[in-house]
Structure 1
Amino acid sequence: MVSLPSTLERIRTRLILLALFLMPWQTRWIFGTDTLSGGISEFGVLSFFVVEGLIVLAFVLQPFIEHHRDFDGAVTLGWVMMLAMLASVFSASNPHLAMMAWLHVLGAYVLFLNLLNRHVKPKEALFAFTLGLVAPALLGVFQAVTGSSPASTLLGLASHDAMTAGASVIETFSMRWLRAYGSFQHPNVFGGYLAVGLFAVFLFLRWDVSKKARMGAYAVGALLTATLVLTYSRSAWIAFVLSSVLAGWLLFLHHRVELRRVIPLGLIILFVMGFTATLFSNPYVVALEETHPGREVYAYQPVHNLYLLMLSELGVIGTLFVLLWMVLIDRYIFANLPRVGAVGALAIGSALFIIGFFDHYLWSLWPGLALVAFVLAMTLRLSEPGVEKE
């Protein structure tokens, strides 16, 4: 006879995997808006996402999480960090929006805790996350090719058209190319998910899988790569390339046999990147030069720096708690290098760290917060001893 706790644990695990699969979709309940800087924007929308509901439900069903004892420090400091952030809400200029933002951060932290649960296998979590990106990637290709995207309340999709003002496009004097949004609010957010998804495909190849599954991984990797190019997200491009170089160097030094396993996918990615980039008559750098002559390719405004934005919103004390929490997680990763799992953890963690210098969505939007929670939890789980055998 199956016990009730075991049944609840299985239900919770399936809810978490379902949440990871649906994480790219932005279906939500909007119950209000508030002004921000004198106007209405995405950052002033009061809403709860369907995925947040699944995450909270999974936690409520079984709040006592069985995790590796080495994670105790990160879990405890994480709760202290959440309390420090809550304290900053009461001194905010707009308490309503600040409280809404804190609730989203809390939801992301609960996702982080759920993923530390030993009953959730890293391989299954990575598979669910990557599989969930396939449909958005196909949608992204459709958007880039047709220059438009339909709206859907059920799927949380907004309408986009390359010829409409306000759409995120690559524009020259003669043409407007719609960047791939996928199912997200902005192509840069989509780019971040795709970069992490590509590393998940590499990690999936680490486990012993059948030839059919390996071919499937190559196909998914090619699709995600093509879509990553079509997002024209410079932050995601830079993060993926630099993190790949870092991981490749560590594998070359310590795991040359493992490096041979991922070389075929690496070659596929390079080919697809080059091929996709040639499909458009006006590549990104040419378009940027025509639109903004003399402007640096990677010029950004300071507001797009995640770390400066966090400092301005949380203050010194709140930011210090966040940094201490991240350092504690990083220490565990570095302590387990050069194990293959830890190398993979370092790669996906580095990708988000780099994106933080160029974009703010990892802090300001729910999809970004959820991505951070997923990546940080996976960095710990992938560094866990024995994960290669799971």
Structure 2
Amino acid sequence: MNDRHMRRKAAIFLDAVYEGATGLLPMALGLWFYHPLLRLPHPPVYFIYSSVLLFGSDLLILIALSADLSLRALTGTLRLHRPPLPILGLLGLAGWAILSAAWSIEPRLSAYTGFHLLGIAVWILSLSERPKAWRALSTGCMLGILLQSSVAVLEILAQSTAFLRPLPLEWPGQLDPSIPGAAVIELPEGRRWLRAYGTLPHPNLLGLYLLGLMAGPATWGVQPNPWSFIGGLGLGLGAFGIGLSFSRAAWLGCIASFIGLLRTPQLSPRRRLLLLLAGAIGGLAVAWLFPSQTITRLTGRGSALELRSVRERQWLMEQAWRQITSHPLLGTGAGTFPLALREAIPPGYRAEPVHHVGALILTELGLPGVGFGLVMLWAFLRERRRREDPEAWALTAFLIGLLIASMLDHPLWTMAPMRALGGCLLGAWLGRQKSGDAGDRRPPASPDPSEGH
């Protein structure tokens, strides 16, 4: 009896560790604490694209997975269910990325990218079998939106990130509009205006981060209970933060997500109106407060900086096409696009990834890599029709928003915390697709009472 009692307490503790790490994860995805496992200097490539880094978010995922595995061992439920097709596609993509180290121009970087994708696939599988973990995740999403949007507002008001200096964070650093390389909007009169970074390395990352986290309040907003109002507030605050990032990719993804969200079945007209007002007020407030900045970002009118940005992206697409035609079958190796550009970079251009996830995968992993990616996409589009549960629909809307944004930017493929963000949403979505809360397949918190008799 005493042994059963101790095992029951251990199971409860492990379950709490899993839930706690899961709840903290959305916050950690926006606070980029990291430890360099291996620095691979390849100037002029920025080190984040050419190093093996362990982020705080990776550590939380490892803690959660360790707790899950220990709980399964304790309760005798080590056997996993057959992985859904999207996870099988991701496992294939991860395996091919690992194999690409054999021909990669930087084998260590390709192996790291592949093994990180493998870890994300395992994390997705774990979340898919524990749908109730979304409660902790969605709460963390709300807190992450509150933190990053608040920091963004302060940065816009101060036109500086210097107030973040006391925090032990490398990014965004001490920036103001006068610093070369800072992400600014060049207004028609020539004045430079700093975009919001949050606590991330670039405003585009802030936009994608908030877009992913808005899935949390979205699932609250579609519920027929008082929490729907809190969800609406979270959506409005997230839309406002995305607006302040002035990331066009995140803007487009946000609009697409709200269109999908408003089509949620079984949604009362009152809640539909609440969601519409939340998104519209949050987004349009930025356009009303900063009309000149908004017009400049949308049209590039009168801004040499915006025109240069467009030319850089066009040049990166041209380089991607050249690499694809040179290595159509195998690619250059996972994670190596910026490294492959080193010899081709003209003065003044940056060695960075092409701003299109599909082009990146084709360039780095060739036709087989794209094949695995298309399997994931096809499985996602097929599975999304299986349930019309409002929460599943809300998650679908923001997953589609991230996919659309990834056609105009690269972090969902190139940066570990953003890969983890996508994994969180996909794992939660698969959990809803499988069974809903009633079918939570996590190991029981206490072993079978008959055990030991």
Q: Which amino acid aligns with 2:179?
A: T
CA contact (8 A) 1:333 1:383 kept: yes
Structure 2 unaligned residues grouped into runs of 5+: 318-353, 441-453
1:225 is aligned to 2:225: no
Q: Which residue of 1 aligns with 2:60?
A: 54
Q: Which residue of 2 aligns with 1:274?
A: 284
Provide the alpha-carbon RMSD of the alignment: 3.0
CA distance, structure 2, for counterparts of residue 9 and residue 241 of structure 1: 37
CA distance, structure 1, for counterparts of residue 245 and residue 222 of structure 2: 27
Q: Which amino acid aligns with 1:162?
A: P
Q: Which amino acid aligns with 2:378?
A: V
Deviation at residue 31 of structure 1 after TM alignment: 4.4
Q: Which residue of 2 aligns with 1:33?
A: 39
CA distance, structure 1, for counterparts of residue 308 and residue 132 of structure 2: 44
Q: Which amino acid aligns with 1:342?
A: A
1:198 is aligned to 2:214: yes
Q: Which amino acid aligns with 1:196?
A: G
CA distance, structure 2, for counterparts of residue 83 and residue 91 of structure 1: 14
CA distance, structure 2, for counterparts of residue 113 and residue 147 of structure 1: 42
CA distance, structure 2, for counterparts of residue 44 and residue 8 of structure 1: 36
Q: Which residue of 1 aligns with 2:333?
A: none
1:15 is aligned to 2:15: no
Q: Which residue of 2 aligns with 1:235?
A: 249
Alignment partner of 1:286 out of 296, 299, 323: 296
Alignment partner of 2:179 out of 154, 159, 164: 164
Deviation at residue 284 of structure 1 after TM alignment: 2.7
CA distance, structure 1, for counterparts of residue 255 and residue 180 of structure 2: 32
CA distance, structure 2, for counterparts of residue 67 and residue 347 of structure 1: 32
CA contact (8 A) 2:185 2:305 kept: no
Q: Which residue of 2 aligns with 1:318?
A: 369
CA contact (8 A) 2:219 2:390 kept: no
Query: Relative to structure 2, which stretch is displaced further, 159-168 or 286-295?
Result: 286-295
CA distance, structure 2, for counterparts of residue 245 and residue 316 of structure 1: 33
Q: Which residue of 2 aligns with 1:121?
A: 133
CA distance, structure 1, for counterparts of residue 305 and residue 196 of structure 2: 24
CA distance, structure 2, for counterparts of residue 282 and residue 103 of structure 1: 45
CA contact (8 A) 2:141 2:213 kept: yes
Query: Relative to structure 2, which stretch is displaced further, 11-20 or 57-66?
Result: 57-66
The alignment-based identity, stated in percent, is: 21
Match of 1:24, SS state, is coil
Structure 1 unaligned residues grouped into runs of 5+: none
Q: Which amino acid aligns with 1:255?
A: Q
CA contact (8 A) 1:243 1:350 kept: yes
Q: Which amino acid aligns with 2:147?
A: A
CA contact (8 A) 1:345 1:379 kept: yes
Q: What does residue range 105-116 of structure 1 map to in structure 2 within 5 Å?
A: 105-116=117-128
Q: What does residue range 1-390 of structure 1 map to in structure 2 within 5 Å?
A: 1=5, 2-36=8-42, 38-63=44-69, 64=72, 69=81, 71-118=83-130, 120-150=132-162, 151=165, 154-159=168-173, 160-172=175-187, 173-210=189-226, 213-248=227-262, 250-251=263-264, 254-257=265-268, 259-280=269-290, 282-286=292-296, 288-292=300-304, 300-301=313-314, 302=317, 303-336=354-387, 338-387=388-437
Higher relative contact order (CA closer than 8 Å, sequence separation 6+): 2
Q: Which amino acid aligns with 1:235?
A: A
Q: How many residues end up aligned between the 2 structures?
A: 383
* Pair 222,90 (structure 1): closer, same or farther in 2 beyond 3 Å: same
